[in-house]
Structure 1
Amino acid sequence: MSLLPVDEALERILEGVKALPGETVPIEEADGRVLAAPLAATRTQPPFDASAMDGYAVRAANVATPRAMPLKLIGESAAGSRYHGAVADGETVRIFTGAPVPEGADTILIQENAEILDDGRIEATDTVAAGRHIRRAGLDFQKGDSVLEQGRRLGPAGIGLAAAAGHATLDVTQRPLVAVIATGDELVRPGEPCGPDQIVASNGFAIGALARREGARILDLGIIPDDSAAISDAVRSAAAAGAHVLVTLGGASVGARDLVRQALLDAGMSLDFWKIAMRPGKPLMFGRLGDMRVLGLPGNPVSSLVCAHLFLRPLIARLGQRSYAPDLRSAVLAKALRANDERRDYVRASVAPGSEGLIATPFTLQDSSMLTTLAASNALIVREPGSPAAEEGDRCRVLMLG
């Protein structure tokens, strides 16, 4: 039976996936969240004509030429404490950055161009055109303006804009809940005693970090032994918690102790596919258990993370109402690569700028258990099924890992 192509596998994983509903959170908790609806301003910013500089609010006609006339200082306008009178001909008001421009004034004489005379009057040493150094009311936005679009992932600037627009709370898309189950009698947690036939579990931490970076919440169901009943209990726990995605790590192959797939089938999972045409990551499994999507990742740590980049990231993004596009770029090979077989190959590589653009240097050792190689990689060279041997200097396609 032919293996499922990678692109078709992704289409089937994303088929029918809709963004989760919204929820309201305090603006202090909105960093990294995705707006569930467009955001409109509840106020105008600035709400009044404001000075952009420290200086003097004047009439432009009074400062049309240097030292045209001394101006009588009649008051002060500061941020949060405006001058309530009006500026008449031959008068001025001391003004500070952000303060409301008083009625009658139409420009700002900056303090560097003002001289204080012995009698306290102010004289302009340079000309000032009408409207200079004044931020007009509504310069940034008007009440009712749409200031942030639906689907925007909020960062510091977006949160600052939302606050300035008058919002103490924000409607954001719920964060997908990703439950993670690692299986295997050979696994122990970092820091725990490790027997002679055991290894330290790493996949769950790596997958959790990647999922959190994409905006998901993580339900870590721990390490489950190679026991069908224990695996079934963990699957039920994920479903009971309302997980949108269940990620299983290992145990989905064909060995006598690979019990995950059968446990999921016994729990009612509808299996969509198992095994795809890619390297590393051939034994990828996908199915549905009620409303929960199940992604069975390989046990080898590199295979697991590569599959998570290709399939889990876009799934989380779709659930979280975020657009997602893989960062694919063109590069020049720094080393020759042998011909490829019937699977799409994702070759761990280091990509750096060069005189002819990006230079991709594949690592010599590509074993799917080697986290040192993956940690040193910032990209994957993507080689299509049946690709002929490639020589140093040939163009290639790279998937940047971010």
Structure 2
Amino acid sequence: MTLIPVDEALERVLEGLAPLDHETVPLAEAAGRVLAAPLTARRTQPPFDASAMDGYAVRAADVAQAPAVLAVIGESAAGRRFAGKVGSGEAVRIFTGAPVPAGADTILIQENTERLEDGRITATAGVAAGRHIRRAGLDFRAGETVLEQGRVLDPAALSLAAAAGHAVLPVVRRPLVAIIATGDELVPPGGEPGPDQIVASNSCGIAALASLDGARVLDLGIVPDERQAIAAALRQALAAGSDIVVTLGGASVGDHDLVHQALDSEGARLSFWKIAMRPGKPMMYGRLEAARVLGLPGNPVSALVCAHLFLRPAIARLCSRLFTPDLRQAELAAPMEATGGRRDYVRATVTAGPRGLVATPFQIQDSSMLSTLAAANALIVREAGAPASEAGARCQVLMLR
């Protein structure tokens, strides 16, 4: 199969993907989820005329001419209103959030009063009618739409939903991403590798990326280089209801790269398995029953770069989120060679310079080196066939963090 361009590969990955069905979750579990239906208020907020300040509930006519002496006849506090009525020459001590008593039409703030010894106060300044009162329904009224479908439930949205009387919310279901690491050479983190083995690291990074983007993760562990074992893991992922199956390693065409064979044996329909990009050329994509399958390369940098470019947008589409790569313009801090026939994603650090952002590529770009990927905060994106660039030339960067 010929190499397909990155943009075409992404189009194929996203083709036909739509937001998943919805579920209802408690308010406390809805952070970061996407609202699956418009949310209407079940109550009015505030439910009564409330004071916006500490002071005294009075009649504006009684303090039109200051100073004015008023008799304090009671108190209204949050959660404990004054049950009587304010008459001529009277005042009720009131606190922020407390109901405004009947008869009062304004709030005299406490800074504009002086207390007298006999339970009366002196208003030292006048106040217009309606001042410092939050009218009932100022925020919203029962039956009004307070949050639209598709809203990401951030802290403000969750607080609004709670205030509107909702204890549970309808949200788009989180996709389930199954991860299958393959390779006889792998041992779990914390294990002791044999003479010819290494620690499996890809699963951790891919699981973290998927989880941070809103997916649930099913880690099916390390599967040996046996076609039947890989096929069994694929069936296990399908039985669990996985929306996306990610395989790690075995995506190339060597004698021991058996993921392709296992997918074929299970009836997968592969769309591509070679991309014109570096790192990450040997990436597969296809469908296996209702699930999408991403076969990521075994090299850890290649796997994570491919996950940023293809897995993250797929998860976002299933979650009903807008995914916009953080692409920016920068200035090269060092010269770069021509790219050849593939789009390059070069690990780099991006910092602020006197004329804008400055991108400094790492000198060694080996796709096995996690240390440089962890140190990088961006990838310099260079198109296939790009000529050599001098230091100071403009470039495009994909921010990672």
Pairwise TM-score range, normalised by the shorter structure: over 0.9
Q: Report the equivalent of 1:278.
A: 277
Instruction: Confirm or deny: 8 A CA contact 2:40 2:146 kept in the other structure.
Output: yes
Whichever residue aligns with residue 381 of structure 1, its letter is I
Q: Give the structure-2-normalised TM-score.
A: 0.98
| 1:156-179: CA deviation from partner (whole Å, max 9, x where unpaired) | 222111101100100011110000
Point out the more displaced range, 266-275 or 53-62.
53-62
Query: What is the distance in 2 between the residues matched to 1:124 and 1:394?
Result: 70
Instruction: Confirm or deny: 8 A CA contact 2:230 2:262 kept in the other structure.
Output: yes
Whichever residue aligns with residue 16 of structure 2, its letter is G
Query: What is the distance in 2 between the residues matched to 1:30 and 1:2?
Result: 44
Q: Report the equivalent of 2:19.
A: 19
Change (3 A) 1:47 1:364: same
Q: Report the equivalent of 2:395.
A: 396
1:157-172 equivalences under 5 Å are 157-172=156-171
For residue 71 of structure 1, give the secondary structure of its aligned residue in structure 2: strand
1:99-114 equivalences under 5 Å are 99-114=98-113
Q: Report the equivalent of 2:34.
A: 34
**1:64 equivalent in alignment to 2:67:** no
**1:212 equivalent in alignment to 2:176:** no
Deviation, 1:64, is 2.5
Query: What is the distance in 1 between the residues matched to 2:314 and 2:131?
Result: 52
Query: What is the distance in 2 between the residues matched to 1:126 and 1:355?
Result: 55
1:207-356 equivalences under 5 Å are 207-356=206-355
Whichever residue aligns with residue 148 of structure 1, its letter is L
Whichever residue aligns with residue 248 of structure 1, its letter is T
Query: What is the distance in 2 between the residues matched to 1:383 and 1:359?
Result: 15
1:60-209 equivalences under 5 Å are 60-67=60-67, 69-209=68-208
Q: Give the structure-1-normalised TM-score.
A: 0.98
Query: What is the distance in 2 between the residues matched to 1:111 and 1:72?
Result: 15
Deviation, 1:150, is 1.5
Deviation, 1:130, is 2.2
| 1:166-196: CA deviation from partner (whole Å, max 9, x where unpaired) | 0010001111000000000000001112111
Whichever residue aligns with residue 389 of structure 2, its letter is A
Instruction: Confirm or deny: 8 A CA contact 2:247 2:296 kept in the other structure.
Output: yes
| 1:268-312: CA deviation from partner (whole Å, max 9, x where unpaired) | 000111101111100010000111100000000000000000000
Query: What is the distance in 2 between the residues matched to 1:24 and 1:32?
Result: 14
| 1:326-370: CA deviation from partner (whole Å, max 9, x where unpaired) | 111111111111111111111111112222121111111111011
Unaligned runs of 5+ in 2: none
| 1:255-278: CA deviation from partner (whole Å, max 9, x where unpaired) | 110000110011000011110111
| 1:16-65: CA deviation from partner (whole Å, max 9, x where unpaired) | 11111000111111112111111111111111111111110112222224
Deviation, 1:230, is 0.7
Whichever residue aligns with residue 269 of structure 1, its letter is A
Point out the more displaced range, 251-260 or 353-362.
353-362
For residue 108 of structure 1, give the secondary structure of its aligned residue in structure 2: strand
RMSD between superposed Cα atoms in Å: 1.1
For residue 70 of structure 1, give the secondary structure of its aligned residue in structure 2: strand
Whichever residue aligns with residue 62 of structure 1, its letter is D
Whichever residue aligns with residue 149 of structure 2, its letter is Q
Whichever residue aligns with residue 42 of structure 1, its letter is R
Percent sequence identity is: 70
1:377-396 equivalences under 5 Å are 377-396=376-395
For residue 16 of structure 1, give the secondary structure of its aligned residue in structure 2: coil
Aligned length: 401
Unaligned runs of 5+ in 1: none
